[in-house]
Amino acid sequence: MTVMPDVYEQTESQVVQEKSWRLIVWNDPVNLMSYVSYVFRSYFGFTREKAEHLMMCVHQDGHCVVRSGSKEKIESDVHAMHGFGLQATMTQEV
């Protein structure tokens, strides 16, 4: 019979607070308002009101921060937006 050595977990770890990333959607004269609104509802699961509000924000202000989160999450959002043909970029919060 043998005993496995105890493994001590490293309990002290340095938590580096990574600044979150933002998903920005840009206005363009081609994408239909109904389409942008539908994309916001179906992809993000936003309510009709929130989707319309964000769509108008993009339309009127030229661009809008649609959501923020970890780098991985925002990267996959940007990829999805490009799949829908929306102009989307990512930027890290300052």
Partner 1 sequence: MATGFRYTARGIAGSLPSAERALLGKLFGDVIELLTGRQEVHALDDEVDPLYALTGMRPSDAQLPVPSDPAVHRLLPDASQDPELAAEFRRLTEADLLSEKLGRLREGQLLLESEKVHFVDTAQATRFAQALNDVRLVLATRLEIEDEADAERIGQVLDAAEVQTQEDYLALVYNLVSWLQDSLMSALLNEQA
Residues that bind partner 1 (CB under 8 A): 29-32, 34-35, 37-38, 41-42, 48, 75, 78-79, 82-85, 87-91
Query: How many CA atoms within 13 Å lie on the side-chain side of 30?
Result: 5
Q: For residue 43, what are its two tokens?
A: 């992809």
Nearer to partner 1, 7 or 25 (CB): 25
User: Which is closer to partner 1, CB of 6 or CB of 60?
Assistant: 60
Largest pairwise CA distance in the chain: 75
| Residue 36 identity (one-letter amino acid) | V
In this complex, which beta carbon is closest to partner 1, that of residue 70 or of residue 91?
Answer: 91
CA distance 33 to 52: 9
Task: Work out how close the CB of 88 gets to partner 1 at its nearest, in angstroms, rounded to a whole number.
Answer: 7
